[in-house]
Structure 1
């Protein structure tokens, strides 16, 4: 068994040329054609267990690889792997991998699900005390009658410190405009088997109560980065409103994680990432506002006008997302999460494990929400908006730590608490839309257009506010799941 530490970078196919020229300047690059076949059961038992099984033929021999990962993330992929030569593309299962512990009926049901054909150019380069294997992969994923092309760079740490991977990524970004990679090759295959996704929602984050706080933060931040990047790719390929919404959710969750873990992660780079995430969130928010406005418009003339504004706004957003500033933010943030200076703080400064940290953080967030939301019907628009943001942060924190509360009783309390928060957010969201709509119409020169008044109708503010307060009171009456 070996431990694989790898950073994935996504590039456009036309950007591979400059990278290959750069590689040849470092030394002779080896070119290989690789065919990989991935195996699983029809019910995807291996994927559900966090395992992947493949055989790969490089033109001279077949090699079988089993990989195991703890959850899904972004940035550094740290996985255990078991490799051995085999006689054909069919796996040879033995007692020397995690597969040996699976039920016999699972092993009997293993079959090829998809394959990859990759042209790989690679070489090892030295950066300081580190040796990094650079692989430029131009490939196709094949599943049933579907196919999907991809182009990526894999930086695998052979020896030395992980910092070198991110330094090299910044060097490559100047050549090829790289984006942070968040999907493994096996995930590409599984995604091709599924229906085309219009968005990617937040995923469950596996945590354990005795896990170190810094490792818990890394898992949470990695999940948020992953959610954002998956949706960013969808937004850039198409313009589905839900993907844009989920990209914003990913950024909000990431910003909430920074706030929640500030006592642990604050260092000289903390403010930079906080401010840059706020900037990026605003770029997405300006376009998302038009999506919401379009959905609320009833007049055909108004919808046409908003659609034109949306098209222009999406063009501007694509330019922002393709900028060096936006690309670097994701890569640098992944590097900071993995190997930032904050990780060098004494363990004593971090207190106990993530279980203890979660309970304290959630309690503090809940107290703040209860205090600020008291007398909700008497609050003005701005104060209600602040309450809405506190509710979101409390919900994100509750979702981050869900993996710590999987016992039967705790899980039921957790589900009721999330439902209660959702009810509060829905009502406060409606009120916020009603309060923001006049300014949004005016800023876009639409307030005098026929049908503009219809954007403000459809909900009774007084009734919605009363329901919001009732939902708030019901929530604060629940027994918190973390106690």
Structure 2
């Protein structure tokens, strides 16, 4: 659990010079090269680190809540760098991406009190890093969650063996992109900036009239944000059974943001009230997440097959691709029915705030 005393300091990085108006001059940033920083990653965690609960008090200010929530997001993301680089456990990159997405959700939750230049900078850098990790994660999901069950049912299928070889090559390229991103100066600089931003509480460098918002009890802001997130999800899910794939994707994103926000603020409310809501939300996310994984896999396989056909390698690849897509298409109707039922349960569960 992240406590007030655990807010990130920056002992390994030189302070970032502050520009007039409170933002930093990036030219003055003192950040070592990857070689100088690599020791921190090489001695990092050997196992995956999942998200930790942020413990907020009802009388805590927005200012202190920002420090705690963003500290946890930063720890979540950076604690999985070493695992992601080793590449042996697919959950390393997955948890890095979850940490970054949680941070982006927090940026949205607190956008009213974070100065706009800082908000734009953090959104830009987190999006860049998420994109850099995306291909590796997509192929990890395909190989472990979509291809494996088909292989188990058809162990002698030569085409599936070719497909696994081709997919592994794509994953290797994805991990190469991930390694470059984690080791590059841009990532080191962003990490140093985030540590400085937290240790100096630079979000407080807003206009004097915004100080009142920072001193507001966090429970008031939490209530507003939770209501807004929940209402947005319900609106996107109207006529659920008629939603297109694109609309389901939009709902999935909204539910994911709602889940992150609910996790940030759940400690402000009794556990017995929050548990049923979070369970129903997680069930809904799981359904839509699997359906989205299948859609993403179809696009990945289409591009990969097109490339290999031009190169005239892996002769059985088109057939194997069709086998995998067809296999998961068989369960599409059942998945849609399950999602419909889970959506009903989510709509009926009581909000905990």
TM superposition shift of 1:434: 2.2
Question: What does residue 54 of structure 2 align with?
Answer: 205
Query: 2:14, 2:204 → 1: CA distance?
Result: 22
Query: 2:65, 2:4 → 1: CA distance?
Result: 12
**Superposition map of 1:21-420 within 5 A:** 70=4, 72-73=6-7, 75-76=8-9, 153=12, 170-173=29-32, 177-178=36-37, 196-197=46-47, 199-295=48-144, 296-297=146-147, 298=151, 299-339=160-200, 341-345=202-206, 346=208, 347-350=211-214, 352-405=216-269, 410-420=270-280
Question: What does residue 282 of structure 2 align with?
Answer: 422
Query: 1:244, 1:267 → 2: CA distance?
Result: 29
Which of the pair has the greater relative contact order for Cα pairs under 8 Å at 6+ separation?
2
Query: CA separation of 1:169/1:222 partners in 2, compared to 1, >3 Å: closer, same or farther?
Result: farther
Q: Please give the per-residue CA displacement for 1:173-198, whole angstroms capped at 9, x wherever unaligned.
A: 2596437979xx9xx8xx7xxxx52x
Query: CA separation of 1:281/1:310 partners in 2, compared to 1, >3 Å: closer, same or farther?
Result: same
Q: Please give the per-residue CA displacement for 1:56-96, whole angstroms capped at 9, x wherever unaligned.
A: xxxxxxxxxxxxx64645x317xxxxxxxxxxxxxxxxxxx
TM superposition shift of 1:328: 1.0
Q: Secondary structure at the match of 1:449?
A: helix
Query: 1:241, 1:166 → 2: CA distance?
Result: 36
Give the superposed CA RMSD: 3.0
Q: Give the TM-score normalised by the residue count of structure 1.
A: 0.60
Richer in strand (by share): 1
TM superposition shift of 1:350: 3.8
Query: CA separation of 1:366/1:300 partners in 2, compared to 1, >3 Å: closer, same or farther?
Result: same
Query: 1:72, 1:419 → 2: CA distance?
Result: 29
Tell me the matched-pair count: 319
Query: 1:174, 1:293 → 2: CA distance?
Result: 34
Q: Which runs of 5+ in 2 are unaligned?
A: 16-21, 152-159, 309-316
Query: CA separation of 1:414/1:237 partners in 2, compared to 1, >3 Å: closer, same or farther?
Result: same
TM superposition shift of 1:351: 6.4
TM superposition shift of 1:275: 1.3
1:469 alignment partner, one of 317, 335, 340: 340
Query: CA separation of 1:428/1:246 partners in 2, compared to 1, >3 Å: closer, same or farther?
Result: same
Q: Give the TM-score normalised by the residue count of structure 2.
A: 0.81
Q: Which runs of 5+ in 1 are unaligned?
A: 1-47, 51-68, 78-133, 135-152, 157-162
2:320 alignment partner, one of 443, 447, 451: 451
Richer in helix (by share): 2
